[in-house]
Amino acid sequence: MSLVVYHVRAADLRAHLFEVRCRLAAPDPQGQVFSLPSWLRGSYLIRDFAKHVVGLRAESGGRPLAIERLDKRSFRCAASAAPLEIVYRVHAFDESVRKAWLDTRRGFFNGSSLFYCPRGCERGEFTVELEAPADPLAAGWRVATTLRAVEIDARGYGRYRAADYEELIDHPVEMADFQRIDFDVDGIPHALVLSGRVDADLPRVAADLARICHVERELFGQEPKLDQYLFLTHVVANGYGGLEHRDSTALICSRGDFPRRGDSKLSKDYRTFLGLCSHEYFHLWNVKRIAAARFLASDLGSEAYSQDLWHYEGVTSYYDDLFLLRAGLIDAATYLDVVAENATRLERMPGRKQQTLADASFEAWIKYYQPDDNTPNAAVNYYVKGALVALCLDLRLRRDSATTLDTVQREAWRRWGATGAGVPEGGLEQLAQELSGLDLAAFFDHALRSTEELPLAELLADFGVRAARRAAVSDSDIGGWVAGDPPRSWAGLKLRPGETRVMHVLSDSPARQAGVSANDQIVALDGLRVSAANWQAHVAALEPGRRYALHVFRNDELLELDFVPAAPPQDTWTLTLTDASEAVAARRKAWIGV
């Protein structure tokens, strides 16, 4: 029998309040301490979940107990020999995948947002009792979760159990009148759960997901065995993101990402959604089971620092699109376009020359998750550059040894994932060298601990793929093959969507040289009024090297700046297959099948 029992009730849908009652059978006789996490695994930012708790009280034997605050996330109840209960409400109004949400349409929570952990009970068994909402607007709601059911009704309300606190908070819960489509992957039940309005060809989506999941499970020899896996997906007008869990993922996506019935084409939006699902599913191994020792050692109270997020997020980002190719959902040309898009994203980050990949990982807590107007100039994205480093590593291994990154991943699973041992810092670096027999120290120092450019073009050439850089043909050109001619001139700034207010100014750009700053409101260029719709056309019509008057409001002051546009930079990548020798062609075919 569990010594800790949580009773969860959607207390007020309109006020976005969950009520939680935590009953502890045998509290610490010296005074029981309770703590709530400050962050959750897979999202490296201190989120201070306790700030959403309201109305906390404690009682024992029908009498109130005093509460002593210890820090922002912890408190101690007065000593009691009898069982005690704490009662509190959680304001759940974060529509992301990282916290909790409750309104008249749906409820969702990560356990890290709702469940205070009694100190000393972390490795004990926990029970969760989910009460069906009394509000008539929730009459059609059902429950979707991978928590182990003990005794539940037809809608999923009732009693669930977790073996320890870590398991308790790693199974998010969705409550809504959702659409659910079940599918099988190698004998394991999977399901796509969609909350939010969506009219799509869901059987096609499920079939495509099944193909992706199959090729990923094949890589790891059909391990681990799972009871089930859920894609918990919240559909909104415009959204993108995911958070991995051991037997599920929580996703947010846009309504337009899905294919309509009768549409057999693979749109870029749908490809992006499938890539997100592929990414989060691969985390089932890489992060959730092949896990950094430094993260595993954390009690989630303060930051846990690692220089290896390139391994956990970058390698996963490399594989997410590669699995779409292996599953037959995209062809090799489309895959190379995706690689070109990633290379373009990196090329357009001036911050790649300022921050190493290792530092980007270590500083994720204060930089990646807290971007500002200068982020493009000061930081590098460890997803994007990490994926390209993983690609370079895979190509290097394939070219110079009998080992591939697949081989390394399988051994990482055997050595760390299957055993539950944490991966030491630099573990993947050492493993790649050990398995390949190559001295890769200089490669990793260059790729991870310097700001030098990656040898991507050179390595691709050794696989019969030609890399070329060109100027973007439009503001929406993100790389790969795009028809059209580039504009004459370039400003080097980005406006906020639908506005003429500046979001970013790139270093060493004409806008920076003119003195444009983030949050400036652009009103006129060369004596002509500027709007969000015509800004790009205005800039494109200018003559590079000529001086123009640029008028901006900075706060309430009108400034006239000297603006000298430049020719657009050659920062947009395209990748094409080339004629190759027999050896190179065989190498390329083993990599991408052509």
Residues 266 and 325 reside in one and the same domain: no
* Burial (0-12, 13-18, 19+ Cβ within 10 Å), 501: middle
Instruction: Work out the angle between the directed axes of helices 384-400 and 441-449 (0-180°, nearest 10).
Output: 170
Whether the CB-CB separation of 176 and 142 falls below 8 Å is answered with yes
**3-class secondary structure per residue, 68-135:** EEEECCEEEECCCCCCEEEEEEEECECCCCCCEEECCCEEEECHHHHCCEECCCCCCCEEEEEECCCC
Residues in the chain: 594
Place of tokens 């068994």: 125
Average pLDDT, the chain: 97
Q: How far apart are CA 301 and CA 36, in angstroms?
A: 8
Residues 48 and 192 reside in one and the same domain: no
Residues 194 and 242 reside in one and the same domain: yes
Residues 440 and 336 reside in one and the same domain: yes
Residues 344 and 196 reside in one and the same domain: no
Q: How far apart are CA 23 and CA 127, in angstroms?
A: 10
Residues 94 and 240 reside in one and the same domain: no
CATH code: domain of residue 506: 2.30.42.10
Question: Is 211 inside any structural domain?
Answer: yes
Whether the CB-CB separation of 85 and 21 falls below 8 Å is answered with yes
Residues 321 and 204 reside in one and the same domain: no
| Predicted local distance difference test score (pLDDT) of residue 3 | 86
Question: Is 356 inside any structural domain?
Answer: yes
131-185 tens-digit pLDDT: 999 999 999 999 999 999 999 999 999 999 999 999 999 999 999 999 999 999 9
How many Cβ atoms are within 10 Å of 48's Cβ, its own excluded? 13
Residues 204 and 120 reside in one and the same domain: no
| Predicted local distance difference test score (pLDDT) of residue 1 | 57
Residues 351 and 404 reside in one and the same domain: yes
Q: Which domain holds residue 242?
A: 179-273
30-43 tens-digit pLDDT: 999 999 999 999 99
Residues 168 and 204 reside in one and the same domain: no
Q: How far apart are CA 5 and CA 159, in angstroms?
A: 10
* Burial (0-12, 13-18, 19+ Cβ within 10 Å), 238: exposed
**3-class secondary structure per residue, 213-261:** HHHHHHHCCCCCCCCCEEEEEEEECCCCEEEECCCEEEEEEEHHHCCCC
248-258 tens-digit pLDDT: 999 999 999 99
What is the number of structural domains in the chain? 4
Whole-prediction pTM: 0.96
CATH code: domain of residue 115: 2.60.40.3650
Low-confidence ranges of the chain (pLDDT < 70): 1-2
Q: Could you tell me the end-to-end alpha-carbon distance of the chain, in angstroms, rounded to an integer?
A: 58
Residues 364 and 425 reside in one and the same domain: yes
Place of tokens 């490795």: 123
Residues 420 and 518 reside in one and the same domain: no
Whether the CB-CB separation of 89 and 53 falls below 8 Å is answered with yes
